[in-house]
Structures are given as structure tokens and as C-alpha cells.
Structure 1
Amino acid sequence: MPAELTWGPLGAASATEVADLAERCRAVDGGLTEVAISRYSDGGAITTAGRTAAGELVAVAVVRRVGERAMITGMVDPARRGLGVGSRLLDWALSAAGTFTGDVVLETEAVTPEAQRLFESRGLRQVFAEDVMRIDLSGDLPAAAVPAGVEMITWAPETVGRFFEVYEAAFRERPGFPGWPAERWVAWTAGDDEFRPDCSVLATDADGGADLGFVTCADGWIVQVGVRPEARGRGIAAGLVVEALRRMRAEGATSALLDVNANNPGAARVYARLGFSVVGRRARFEPARAS
């Protein structure tokens, strides 16, 4: 039971313990250990940690400020689940989040049915979910190429505007489309230190000159893939992904990741056919709004 654990702040010298706990959770739940760990390194965060009598870290939660939001995340050792530890962590986190101003958001790198039931029991509802998929680049690349007559153009200052126009056309009708102006999307895309312009590619019709689709990349990640509605069904998305993977592998990458929204099964099927497999489902939850 939770009373068997000793509770207190995580402490600044716990990076190895957090990594070990994240790996134990990943082995059961999936997800990305490195992403989970990064959320516990915020020096301004509020934390609580549960330890056994022997001092082993078996549960941890953190509340940190991200913009105008109080972001909650946590982990419970699989061997300690079903004993009320997760409930204790969540109740603590919701109370701690109340000391911040702004909206409360709970995020997880590997939501499970049990965790989802717990979150819902505290009045939280899922507002976003996406599957993280991985491909091994040590073997042969998928047999997919863009159709004949389609040319690949690498990201460059003079092509940035064309990338944005295809992005807007490809995603405008998707749920949650932010409607950003070009400057904000370009800053979001290329402002990251890990952005890879050399692996980010625009597909264009070599004859007519129309831009058809795009892919943008960061270190080890396929970030966004989009195809204009009128150009879909021609294998352009698959060809763009394979071209990006080819470039990534040529520069030494041994694997690549991408994420696909849970409400976009068509894209998920394309990636699965290319050899990507799901390694975890990340999700966000927020307090249910009164109607």
C-alpha cells in the first residue's frame, strides 16, 4: 500500500533513478524512455517521489510550468501498480497544480487502459492521443518511391514559402489545425536546434510545377508529412518518407521515429506498410469542462 513507501521531493541527484524507473515502465507500457526522463529535469518543477524501505525509487510525479499551463506527468513501477500508488500520485499532482495559475494538463508517453480509467475517475478527459512509431534503418529501406515525374526539392530559404503552402493545404481540414501564419510555422519547424533541412523535402510535379507534398525532419524524427488533397492516393507520402529515411541513414542514423495522430488511421496504415511499428501511445488529458 502507499503507506509502505516513504514520500518526499525527488531531489536533484536522481537522474539515474528516474532513468531506471522509466525503463522499467517502458518495458511494460512502451513509449520513449528518453522523452519521459526529460520531464523530470526542470529545476523549477514541483516533485514527489515514493521510495521503498530500501530506498528504491518506485513512483514519481512532477508538476511544471509550460507557458500558461501546469503540466503533470508521473510514473509508477509496474510491480507497484494496483495498490493505490497511482491514485496517490495523481491526487498529489492535481493539488500541486492548483498552486499554479492557468490550465492544468496531464501528459503521458504511454497511456494504458488502467491509467486512462484512473484519470477519468478524477474528472480528466482525453483531449489528444498519438502513436509513436519506429523503424530500424540497419536493413533494406522500404520499396517505395515517388511516382515518375515527381521531383524532390530540399528545404532552403528560397523554398520555405512553398513548404508552408503545401503544409497549409494538406492540414487545413484536419481537426485541431492551428491556422498559424507562415512565420510561426517556419519558426516552429526550423527553429529547433535538431531540425534537419537536408532531410526535409518538397515533392513537386516536374512537368507542371505544382507542389504536391512535403516532409520535414529533425534528428532521428520524421516530424511532419503532408500531401495536398488532390494529390493523394499516388504514393507521394510514402515516397517522401522513404526519401527522408534514405537521407537520414546516409548521415549515420540507425533508426527513425515519427508520431501519428490516433484519429488518422490512414496515415498509420501507410507507415505500418513501410515498416514502422508502434512503440507507445502518448496522450494528454485535461479537466472536463462544464457544459
Structure 2
Amino acid sequence: MRYQWRAKDHTIEVTDTNGVVVASAWVELDLRAEHEYRAYLHGEVVPEYRRQGLGSYMMNWMESQAHQFFATLPNDRPCVLRIMFTDSRQDAVELYEKFGFQFFLAEDEMHRDLKQPIPSISLPTGMNFVPWSPGYAFQVYNDAFRDRPGFPNWTEAVWRQNFTGFDTFRPELSLMVMAGEQPAAYAVSAVESNQGWIVQMGVRPAFRNKGVGGTVLAEAMRRFKTEGLDTAALEVNVNNPQAARLYERFGFVLVKRVTIYHKVVR
């Protein structure tokens, strides 16, 4: 077996004696977050070549590449390594933990076919949809998620960067609900290919159990369908079963579970 490097795109490949790729790894630097620098480590070993030391070799290589990235950046915020995976193999988890990574979060990706009928429901009396307002949405976000495990207590600027600071964000498809002068609920929307994403959705505790969440969900799907999209998609934290049940009632089905492990290195 020989090792073939492709340093120009921070990728390593492992080939067998016939030149067939049996393992690969690459590092992706993410500078979008204002509160930390991130490097995502990606790797895969074909099943018949696992447990031969290739995983450890590539983990060492990826960490070395990430440290080289981080060394070029200002020392003004933490540097974090992240691994995202959908395959929950125990041997992979053991490898990550061996290298000092810890569980960060797990989310279920759910999809909903927009060709199916969308419930026709209205907001409670006194509530209305208004144009997107990031300031109001951030107020709702703080109240809606503050008691959730791992709440990051971000500033508004950091929250905007993480949830609206990308090219696929669509403010005209995002939702803002007001109850008189009070912001009550919101949904951040994005479009990727022919799929509408509800990136984040929240309802203030004072306005829960009134049908607001379901109405926001249905309105988001209606806007996606009007836009000509085929599917609505979202992710829900596995420690939020109440939200998952709401999505299931509105026709969303589980597609995959995405797990993130991380390690702070500076």
C-alpha cells in the first residue's frame, strides 16, 4: 500500500497496489463564525481496510493540517476541530474519543414532500406575519432557546452570522410573527437546489401551546411551494423531542442523523 498526497487541496488519499483509493481525508477551514475559528475534518476508509491503522494515520494528518491553518490566524478567538458524520459506527466514535474529541450535538434531518397537502391554519387572534426582522428574531431566539442544553449565549452579530450569513439565506421566505408590539415567533429560511430549508425556528415561551409553531411551519411550507420548490427540510436536535413530534405531525419524516464531535485546540 502507498500514500498519495494532494497537498494543493489539503487532501490525502491512500491507494492499494492497484491504484484503487481505499481511504481519503481532507480538511476544510471555516472562518464564518465570529466567536471561533473552525476546521472540519473529513475522512473515510472502505470497510475491508478498517482497523489497520489508517484511521489513526489520517486523524494525525488532518490535525497537523488544521494546526498549520490555525497558525496563520490571529490569536483572538478559540480554534476548534469538528467532525460531522452520519454513520454511527462505534469504532469511529472510539477513534474520535481516542484523539480527544467530545460529543457536541446530534441532529435529525427531516424532509417533507411539498406535493402533499399543506394544512390551512391561521395565527391566533392578535398575531400577524410581518416582514423579516433580524433584530426581532434575535429577541425571540434568546427567549426560545435560552433554557436549551448548550445554549451559546451569542451576541446578535454572531447569531446573524451563523444563521443568516450565507448565500442561500432568503429573507423574503423567512417568517416573523408579532403579537401586537411583541415579537412572538420566527423562522429562518434558505433555499438549496430545489429544497426549502427551515434553518431555525423558535416561539417565545409565552406564546407556546397556542398553535403558533404549527402555523409558522405551515406558512413556511406554503411559501416554499409557491416558490416552486419540491421539498421542505429542517434539522432538529435529538434532545428536543417535542419539536420533533410537531414536525412529524406536519408530515416531516426522518432522513438521517448528523452527529458532531469537537475539540478545542487553542
CA contact (8 A) 1:137 1:249 kept: yes
CA contact (8 A) 1:146 1:240 kept: no
From 188, 196, 202, the counterpart of 1:226 = 202
- The root-mean-square deviation of aligned C-alpha atoms, in Å, is 2.8
**Alignment match, 1:215:** 187
Deviates more, 1:93-102 or 1:254-263: 93-102
Within 5 Å, give how 1:1-291 maps onto structure 2.
3=1, 6-10=2-6, 43=9, 46-67=10-31, 68-78=37-47, 80-81=49-50, 84-99=53-68, 100-101=70-71, 103-114=79-90, 115-141=92-118, 143=119, 145-149=121-125, 150-155=127-132, 159-205=133-179, 208-219=180-191, 220-287=196-263
The offset of 1:224, in angstroms, is 0.9
Distance in 1 (CA, whole Å) between partners of 2:48 and 2:224 is 38
Letter matched to residue 174 of structure 1? R
Distance in 2 (CA, whole Å) between partners of 1:92 and 1:187 is 30
Give the number of the structure whose residues are more often helix, by fraction.
1
The offset of 1:50, in angstroms, is 2.0
The offset of 1:105, in angstroms, is 1.3
Decide whether aligned partners of structure 1 residues 58 and 237 sit closer, same or farther in structure 2, where only a CA change above 3 A counts. Answer: farther
Deviates more, 1:174-183 or 1:192-201: 174-183
Task: Give the match's secondary structure for 2:210.
Answer: coil
Letter matched to residue 41 of structure 2? I
Q: Structure 2: 5+ residue runs without aligned partners?
A: 32-36, 72-77
Give the number of the structure whose residues are more often strand, by fraction.
2
Alignment deviations for residues 214-264 of structure 1 (CA, whole Å, 9 cap, x no partner): 111011211110000111122211221111111011111111221122222
CA contact (8 A) 1:109 1:280 kept: no
Deviates more, 1:159-168 or 1:99-108: 99-108
Q: Structure 1: 5+ residue runs without aligned partners?
A: 13-42
The offset of 1:152, in angstroms, is 1.8
TM-score (norm 1): 0.73
